[in-house]
Amino acid sequence: MNEYSFIKSKRRFVISTKAKTGEKYHRILEAAVSVFAKQGFYQTTISQIAREAGVADGTIYLYFKNKDDILVQFFTYKAKQVFAGFRKEVDKAGNAIDKLRNLVHRHLEEFQKDRNMAVVYQSLTHQHLDIVEDNIREMSKMYLDIVADIVERGQEEGAMRRDLYLGLVKRFILGSVESAINTWLYSKRKYDLVSMTDPLIDLFVRGIGNYEQQ
């Protein structure tokens, strides 16, 4: 359902799809993400978001049910869209290793492209707020499923070991990529995050053990 309706004490609000595609809706959402990135969700006030968006406090409630809803919308309309692009990117490659490389590459690329989104996403996925738990779980599952598909295919191709605990491997890969993103987000010198793709893939595939020389 692309419609979002609810009852409040006296009125019936219907925040329509049309509203969501409006210019102000996006301005407020971007403003919110920008302030959340700087200060965190709970330290951010509606007034700050309004000021950053250049609208009045009350205007925000024409586009969002409440403060929590801004976060929900962030995951529902912004982050989810980014994650939806991952599957397509993976499909472009012909073998498992390349698919994994494409996934990681796109992941790093998108997060580098929108730093505010990256900060908020990384921060909130570790806070386990009831508000957005479902959204995050869904997106996380989407990602892990992609990885699982890739690894299974890699095993069929003979490019990946068959004695892997798939549940662990999925998290291992996601955790490593997120760790690389976090390092980049909070490092002083702003290097190119996307260039981490190959070194990461190399670690995933070959590990740190020295087998070649034996």
Residues that bind DNA (CB under 7 A): 8-11, 19, 24, 44-47, 55-59, 61-63, 66-68
Interface with its own copies, residue 19, by CB under 8 A: no
Tokens of 182: 């976090």
Q: Interhelix angle for 46-53 vs 23-39, to 10°?
A: 130
Identify which of residues 54 and 199 has a Cβ nearer to its own copies in the complex.
199
Interface with its own copies, residue 213, by CB under 8 A: yes
The owner of tokens 């991952």 is 86
Minimum Å distance from CB 47 to DNA?
A: 6
Contacts (Cβ under 8 Å, ≥6 apart) of 203: 176
Of 88, 145, 175, 190, which one interacts with its own copies (CB under 8 A)?
175
Identify which of residues 55 and 93 has a Cβ nearer to DNA in the complex.
55
Q: Are 205 and 197 in contact (CB under 8 A)?
A: no
Interface with its own copies, residue 22, by CB under 8 A: no
Identify which of residues 23 and 165 has a Cβ nearer to its own copies in the complex.
165
40: left (phi over 0), alpha (psi -120 to 50) or beta: left
Interface with its own copies, residue 200, by CB under 8 A: yes
Q: Are 101 and 158 in contact (CB under 8 A)?
A: no
Of 17, 42, 113, 134, which one interacts with its own copies (CB under 8 A)?
42
Interface with its own copies, residue 196, by CB under 8 A: yes
Q: Give alpha helix (H) positions in 41-129.
A: 46-53, 57-63, 67-73, 80-91, 96-113, 115-124
H-run or E-run covering 5: strand 4-8
Interface with its own copies, residue 7, by CB under 8 A: no
Identify which of residues 53 and 97 has a Cβ nearer to DNA in the complex.
53
* Footprint on residues 151-170 left by its own copies (CB under 8 A): 151, 154-155, 158-162, 164-165, 167-169
Identify which of residues 66 and 182 has a Cβ nearer to DNA in the complex.
66
Select the span of 22-30, 58-66, 82-90, 205-213 touching its own copies (CB under 8 A).
205-213
Select from 142, 196, 136, 148 the least CA-distant residue to 172: 148
Select from 12, 138, 5 the least CA-distant residue to 69: 5
